[in-house]
Amino acid sequence: MVILGLGTNLGDREQTLRQAVLELKALLSQVICSPVYESPALLPETAPKDWDMPFLNMAVRGESTFTPKALLAEIQALERKLGREKRGHWSPREIDIDILACDGVIINEPTLTVPHQALLKRDFALIPLADIVPEWVYPGRDGKMAHELATQMASQLKRTDLVIA
């Protein structure tokens, strides 16, 4: 099982999420989507004011035959296909797809960290993950399940009425 986090704050955000999920269904089987949430942009202190645009976020769960590194390469190719441009760290994005977790695997390499290194600090990633895999346990976190971790988190998320499937 792989769990991906998707986010977008540029262009037609809803359509971008729909297209991303459609494309991910070609890479993954048994795809399950979380509700869509809106969150404030996470910005560095020096960010220009025009970067302050809210994100739509969601999580996707599925089965993959790819290794984590091969899946990362496929995801990065998909991001480029959907129009993602490099603008700088934490800049606005047409689409951002992160590997949040993968089959209980722990990877800590320069190009890939699984579970995602900031997952437990980011409500926009953890709460959608907990919606679709509430029993998921972050390795080394005292056996607390995702839904327990998510309920302890202070959040500015707003659940939307959007349905992406």
Listed residue (43, 36, 40) closest to 13, CA to CA: 36
165 within domain boundaries: no
69 within domain boundaries: yes
CATH number, domain at 13? Answer: 3.30.70.560
At 15, phi and psi to the nearest 5? -65, -40
Reading the chain (165 residues) residue by residue, the pLDDT tens digits are: 999 999 999 999 999 999 999 999 999 999 999 999 999 998 888 889 999 999 999 999 999 999 999 999 999 999 999 999 887 777 899 999 999 999 888 899 999 999 988 898 899 999 999 999 999 988 876 677 888 888 887 777 889 988 888
24 within domain boundaries: yes
Q: What whole-number distance in Å separates Cα of residue 9 and Cα of residue 94?
A: 6
164 within domain boundaries: no
140 within domain boundaries: yes
Maximum CA pair distance of the chain?
Answer: 42
151 within domain boundaries: yes
Query: What is the three-class DSSP state of 109?
Result: strand
67 within domain boundaries: yes
pTM of the model: 0.92
